[in-house]
Structure formats: structure tokens, C-alpha cells
Amino acid sequence: MDTLRNRFTAQKSSSQRYSDDDESKFHKPMPSGHFMAILGLILVTFSLVIYIEKQLPKGVTIAEEHLHPNGFIAERAYNILKNLTQIGPRTAGSYENEVLAVQVITKEIEGILATAHPNHVVEMDVQKASGAFNLAFLDGMTNVYQDVQNIVVKVGSKINSPHSLLINCHFDTVLDSPGASDDGAGCAVMLEILRALVHSDKILRHNIIFLLNGGEENFLPASHGFITQHKWAKEVRAFINLEACGAGGREVLFQAGPNHPWILETYSEEVPYPYASSLAQEIFQSGVIPGDTDYRIFRDFGNISGLDFAWSSNGYVYHTKFDSIDNVPLGSLQRTGDNILALAKGMAQGHQLSNVEQYRPGNLVFFDFLGAFVIRWTMPVSDLINALSVIVSLYCIYSNAEEARKYTGVSKRTYIKKLGNIIGLIVLSLLLCMLFALGTAACLMGLGRTMSWYARPFWAFFIYVIPTLVISLVAILMHANHFTKEIAMFPWTVFQLYYDAYQLLWTIVLLVGIPLRIRSSFIALTWVVFASIGNLLKSHLFGQWRSRNWIFLHIFTVGLPFVQDFYLMIGALYLFIPIMGRAGAGSHAEYLMAAMMSLLFGKLFCFVTPLILLVRKVDRIFSFLTAIFLMSLAVLLLTPLGFPYSHSSGLLAPQRFMIAHTQRTFHGPSLATTNVSSGYWLVDMDINSPHTVDSHVPAIRDAQLVDKECRDYLYCGLPYLVPVLTMIWKTHWVPGPQPVLLKPVNMTITARTPIEGGERFSFTVSGPAHIGVLLSPMKGVEISRWSIPTPEPLPGPLWNGRNTYFIYYAHGLEPVPFQFWIDFQIPPDHHEAVMDFAVTSHYLFGEGKASEDLKQLVDQFPDWTAVNFWTATYESWIIR
């Protein structure tokens, strides 16, 4: 190291000593062209990371099977998926789901088991389950289910182990979707893994249970039925859940645990193509992503730990008619199959399943580096690493303050004070970036050009990222010109001051993350560690004198955290951008995107922006970046390229619509009918809905915003299929003809029985396979208990200051009326109505799904839309 340092210091050029007229210490040492080259390098880095992120292995064909003995064959999984999706939508309770899908899957399983190796003991069971549970999802609900089906296969051996690994998928779908990715592909992968395992002669140390459940989309009942009632449930020690919120791409491990770090360690050691992050887990569990999986059921009702995987790319087709097999690449099946097969073998052959409680304590911080390998450590180790990194970082900053005192005469106290001032400037500049982005978003909304980035995400770069970079550069340059005048003749010291300020800010973030137990603090850790390495290497290799070679050191040291940070960001953006198309009209998607892009890229450029302090003729840089921004804005506003939706091949990004052809009936306190109406309920899925299609669908021009009804009627007097009123509250109503109801809903109060302090109401509700019961006791009246087998009634959001309750009921192929009772505690002086009570019914499949009027309306929608449609009813009573 001394030799290296001597070489650098012994060969001091004029530029290093700042003695030349052009490059003296009174002048900036970096030409603007060098900075432009760095910006070009950043673009190249972006492109390479995106390219790496999209890479998939080659799918193995059946013809190549001899080259992969006992391996995963993607083409065979693809054929299974093809057979399953040819059925069409498989909504729970439909003939397609309860009969045809079960036949396809059981036939495939029987064919696999017929040629199983004799070393394995294999059993298959088809379960029907009924039950109920509370689900604290979205606004909260109670799910009551009847005769949901599970197909279960247990692979064991003559060892007869009492311990099992569970692998889960679901074969049902939402209405109108063939469900190729969600979750037909997961089931196809599982069946091919089953084939690979039972055809191998290798004996499993522990059992593997394959659960193909027939009811996930109606809010997770089938997995609940298995884990609480099935004969093999008690032997499950860990699980793997396969899900989707997109189609194709790489499956991301986005939930792990709780506790049991050995599961994640097995994943890290066994899978050939890792993609995992504790950041993804914290994002999902924060609730900002509107969704839930069977992972919750196994965790909360089975007290089991496991891993949750999901395909997250191409979320545009999720839960639409476009979720077809055409959007599931062979490489995605191969990648997931190879990973889950290796993981299942590793877990089933491991010793931990024999005594999982011994390995229970602890959680891991984990993340993969460009999909090559997983870095992980336990929380105690994380605390130690973080604390040491904070200490080293503060030492480096202190050393730089001492160095500045020697060479510039700035005292250490003054240096530290300046650091604090600069941190304030950094925070202020981030706020300015966000304000400018939000202002731009407001202008675009005013001009009717919102969500241009939805189908073409590159627009977000041009309209939000470039201004963020420009404002950050201007802010730091203006601050330095006024705040560091006394050391302006030492440009390297000025640069070091701002570099240290960014490092100190990341150090503070890392320090705060230690007591808060934030596992995504590894992001701050990478910045702190490599910034410290840069400082240490700079001191040993260059000392106070720096040549242009220093820039390579800077690029190398901050380049690694820059690449890792962008890698994490691009994965998050691939997930979030499609979500904005289904987050509801009240989500303020344009503002969210503007704020998110400015904040994410503002922090990403943290060690790029100080370089502007070393650059001569900065006006060239600002002119170039500003010109790109203005030209991009002009193209977005003046050409069709700014249109947010697309139906083009390879650029599929439809606008989503949900339409319920609805009949509404309202009864007053005397139970007499007070109002009846019919029409089309339009659920606004994004901020552009519904008037983007006015020129195609004339009826939409008459759409009326639903507002007053939300104050007058429970759940706005509308047939919400799921309790999402707090998220999707902005909807429209188009008056229309009465729907055709093949099996009208019927609600009967079968008994009213006095109880101590109140009254018991007994109800019977019958109708189609999917029914909602909504109720809200009057003020002063409370629900004490009910016959539904849950620990206690789960209240939802308040309505007019009163509790609400949402009960979702669904049955299998055979209709079964929903019978239940509720005990109300009623004050002795209460002589008014007891409750508002409403029943919704949903005809999601079969002949009753859509009348000719509804079909004709849907047929008018353009090809760049995806419409989910059904027939529904809403009937309410004020019960005294």
C-alpha cells in the first residue's frame, strides 16, 4: 500500500498540485465532458441491470429430458398448464372449477403416480371443507365457506416420517380470467416437481405434501380448510407457497418466516436462481400492496413458517382475460421449477424438519445481488455489522475533518457544522425535487395526460427523473457557491465536504434502523460501507493530492451500491407501476408516481451530484438535461406516445374496468320497499376511469359519481364483492335495464329470541354461490356474539359513527343456504331500529353471469381495455 501511495504522490503533475493556470486549485479540475461521460455510464448501467433482470434460463423440452434425468422439464409443465387453462375461467363454485379442473388435475396426478418409483409411498386425497375465519385484510371481513375442494398428494417413504413439508398452489381463478399465471402456472410447476420426485429412486428423509387448493380467489378458504381440518395438516412443519401478481419473469421471494431462519438459509444454499429481499417482505407486509396470499393462513391459523413466492413481472395482465398461457414464457416455468425442486429437496432432506422448534428463534436480513447469490445474516449479526459500520463511517468523516484542518485551515468544529448545514440542504433539495415532480404531475392531470408511464415506463424517467437530477445538481452547486466561499480554492475539499455529508446522512439512517429493527436497512448499510471504503482508499492511495485517476476509484466504490440500489428499485417499479392500474380512482396515482420517482432517484444519485462541484462549464450540462426534459414533455403532450394504455403485442397494458349489472332494492323500518333501481355499477380502477372510453361506449357519458348514497346506505348501497370501500371509494353509476336473475337472493329472519340484555336474530340467506352479508348496529347497540365459528365478530370501518361487519359466504357446486344467528346487546331505553342489514349476491359464472344488455355494453369497449363483468344485487333493510 505504501508503494502505491508513494507512486501516486511522487508523480504529482501540475493538475495534482493545482499549480497550472488551467487546473490550479482556484479552478475546477473536471471538464464538463467527463461529467457527461459519467451520465452516459449511468444510462449504460441502467440498461445492463434491466437486461440482467429480464434474463431467464432456457426451458427444457421433453426431447431433451434424457439430458436432465430426474430434473424439471418446462415443456411438460407447459402442457399441464395448457390443459388447465383450456377450461377457461375457474371461479370457485363453478362447474369448471369444482368438476372439470379437479378432473384435469387428478387425471394428471394418477398418470404420474402410475409410474412412481417403488421407493416412494404416495397417497392422494380430495378434501371438501367447510368453516369460517376472520380475515384482517383491507377493511376486514369474516369468510364463511361451504364445500370448498382441495386436491392433496403426500409423498413419503417407508421411513414413515411424522414430519412434512407443504407446497401449495391454487387452481381457481377470478371471474373472466383463464388464470394461467395466477395460479395455474404454480400448480403446473408443482405437478412437474411431483413427477420428478416420485420418478427418482432417491428416498426422501421427510414427507412432501402437495396441496392444490380450489379456493384462494374467494379470500383464502381452501387453505384454511386444509390447515385446520385435514388429516395430514398436523404433520406440516414448514411450507412453500406459489403465487402470482403478474405473469412470467422471475419469481420473487417476498415473504419468509416468521422466525425459523434455517428455511431462508436453505433457500440461499440450494436454489440456482435466487431473487429475494427483506425489503420486498417489508413492503408487502406494510399493506401498500393490495393483496394477500395463503401464506397468511398457514402462518396465522397453522402457526407454521415458510416462504412465499410470486411472479411479479407483467402485472398488467394480473386478474384479467389476458392472463393466458401466451404470457407465460417457458423460461419462467423452468426457472421456478428448478428453484422450487431444489428447495423442496433441500428442506425435505434436511434435519431441521425433525425438530423445527429448536431452530425457531431469529429472523434474517437477506437480499440477492443481481440474481447471482443471496447475502444474509441474522438480526444480532446485522446489529453488530451496522454498529461497526457506523463507527467506521464516523471515523472516516472525522479523519477527513482533520485532513481539511491541515490543508485548508478549516477547524474540525467548523467542518462538522458545515456537514450539518449540508445535510439540511440535501433534505431540502429532495423536498424541492418532490415538489417539482408533484407540480409536473398536477400540470399533466390538468392537461388530461395522466399515467403516460403506465404502458411506457420510460416516460417516468424523462418527466420525473431528469428534473430530479437537475434540481439536485443546481441546489448543491448554488449552496456550495454561497456556503463554501472561504475554501473555494480547494475544490477537492469542497467536494469531500459534500461527499461526507451524504455519507453522514446515510450513517444516521443506518443508526436509526438498528433500534427500529428495520431489515431493509441493508440498503443504507451498502452505501455507508462503500462510501467508507472510498474514503479509506482515497486517503491511502491519493492523500490530499488527486489526479483524474481518482474518478475511477469513485466510480468503483460507489458503483456497487448504486447498481444494487437500482436493481432493487427496478424490481419495485415493475411491481408498483401495474398496480397503479388497479389501485382505484382515489389513489392519486400520478402524484404517487411523481413522489416515488423523485425520492427513489434522488437518493440513488446521492454520490453523483457532488461531482458537479468539480466540473467546469456546468451550463452545458444543465442546457443538455433541460433540453431533453422539455423535448420529452412536448412529445408526451403532442403525440399519441403519451397515451397510457396499449394492446400491442409485447406492450400489453390495458385499462381495467369492473362492471356489475346491478339491481338495488331498499326497505324502510317497516320492511316496505322504499326504492328500487337498476343499472351498471362502474368500479373506477384508475384515475382516468371511466371517461377514457366515452367515444367508444356512449352509455359511459351518462355515468354519475356515487356520493350521496355512501352517507345514506351501508357500503354506498352497492354490491361490493370484497370490503375495499376505504381504498376504492370512487365509483360511478349508469342507469340501465333490470338484470336477469336466475336465482334471486332470499333473506328470511327465521326467529327473534329474547336474551339477557338484548335479542338474538336468526337469519337464513340463499342465492348464488357468492353472497355478502353487511350489517351495522345502530348507535348504542352492540354485537356480543354470533353462531359463525370465529373467535369474535370482526368490525370493519365506521359508517356514520357506527361499526360495520362484512361477512362473505361462498359454497361449492351444490347450493347450501347460509344460516346463522347474531346476539345483539340492546339498551333498555332503545326503541328505534336495531340495525341496518344488507345482502349482496354475485353471479360470477354460468348463464346468470351476464344478460344480453350487459354483453352488448361490454362488447363496445376498445381492445386496449380489460373488462371484468358480472351480475349482482344489493338489498337492504332497516330492522327494528
Q: What is the DSSP string of 641-661?
A: GG-S-EEETTEEEPEEEEEEE
- Residue 723 confidence (pLDDT): 95
Residue 402's nearest CA partner among 420, 389, 387, 414 is 414
- Reference 161, options 264, 259, 223, 232; nearest CA is 232
173: left (phi over 0), alpha (psi -120 to 50) or beta: beta
- Same domain, residue pair 40 and 80: no
Q: 660 and 636, same structural domain?
A: no
Burial 594-614 (b: 16+ CB within 10 A, else e): bbbbbbbbbbbbbbbbbbbbb
What is the bridge-based pairing of β-strands 865-879 and 655-667?
A: parallel
pLDDT at residue number 25: 43
pLDDT tens per residue, range 237-296:
999 999 999 999 999 999 998 999 999 999 999 999 999 999 988 888 777 777 789 999
Q: Is residue 544 part of a domain?
A: yes
Close Cβ partners of 534 (under 8 Å, ≥ 6 residues apart): 553, 554, 557, 558
Residues 518 and 396 in one domain: yes
Q: Which of 336, 362, 388 is the last residue of a domain?
A: 362
Asked which of 330, 362, 394 is the last residue of a domain, the reply is 362
SS3 percent helix, strand, coil of the chain, rounded to 5, is 45, 20, 30
Contacts of residue 871, defined as CB under 8 A and 6 or more positions apart, other chains included, come to 660, 661, 662, 739, 740, 741, 842, 843, 848, 849, 850, 851, 854
Beta pairing partners, 377: 365
Residues 515 and 614 in one domain: yes
Query: Residue 103 belongs to what domain range?
Result: 72-362
CATH of the domain at 190: 3.40.630.10
How many domains are there within the chain? 3
Do 96 and 7 share a domain, yes or no?
no
From CA 531, how far away is CA 528, in angstroms rounded?
5
Q: Is residue 36 part of a domain?
A: yes
Domain annotation covers residue 48 = yes
Verify that 833 and 693 share a domain, yes or no: yes
Q: What is the pLDDT of residues 632-669, one digit of tens each?
A: 999 999 999 999 999 988 889 999 999 999 999 999 99
Among this protein's residues, is 270 annotated catalytic? no
Do 398 and 299 belong together in one domain? no
- DSSP structure string for 752-784: EEEETTEEEEEEEEE-SSEEEEEEEEPTT-EEE
pLDDT at position 10, please?
38
Alpha-carbon distance of 275 to 295, in angstroms, equals 18
Angle at 30 between CA 29 and CA 35, to 5 degrees: 165
Per-residue pLDDT at 14: 31
154 vs 357: CA distance, rounded Å: 23
Average pLDDT for consecutive 10-residue bins of the chain (880 residues)?
40 35 57 95 97 96 95 98 98 98 98 96 98 94 98 96 98 98 98 98 97 97 98 98 95 92 96 94 79 93 97 95 97 98 97 92 92 93 97 95 86 93 97 98 96 97 98 96 84 92 98 94 97 88 66 91 97 94 90 97 97 94 98 96 92 97 95 94 96 97 95 97 93 97 95 96 98 98 97 96 98 97 96 96 97 98 98 97
In a domain, 581, yes or no: yes
Task: Looking at the structure, tell me whether residues 412 and 289 fall in a common domain.
Answer: no
Helix (H) or strand (E) holding 439: helix 412-446
Write down the pLDDT at residue 599: 97
CB atoms within 10 A of CB 420: 11
Is 461 among the domain residues? Answer: yes
Residue ending a domain, among 302, 331, 362, is 362
| Residues 542 and 670 reside in one and the same domain | no
- Residue 169 and residue 214 in contact, taking contact as beta carbons nearer than 8 Å: no
> Would you put residue 303 in left (φ > 0), alpha (ψ -120 to 50) or beta?
left
Tell me if 650 is assigned to some domain: no
Mark whether 603 and 703 lie in a shared domain.
Answer: no
CA 177/CA 246 separation, integer angstroms: 13
The pLDDT, as a whole number, for residue 542 is: 67
Instruction: Decide: 524 and 506 in contact? Cβ < 8 Å.
Output: yes
Q: What's the confidence (pLDDT) of residue 649?
A: 80
- Distance of alpha carbon 678 from alpha carbon 676, whole angstroms: 7
Contacts of 742 (CB under 8 A, 6+ apart): 768, 843, 846, 847, 848
* Same structural domain, 584 and 553: yes
β-pair partners for 141: 135
Same domain (yes/no): 661, 566: no
**Which residue out of 192, 216, 265, 875 is catalytically annotated?**
216
Q: In Å, how far from its chain's centre is CA 799?
A: 29
Determine, yes or no, domain membership for 571.
yes
Coil, strand or helix: which one is 800? coil
Q: Is residue 61 part of a domain?
A: no
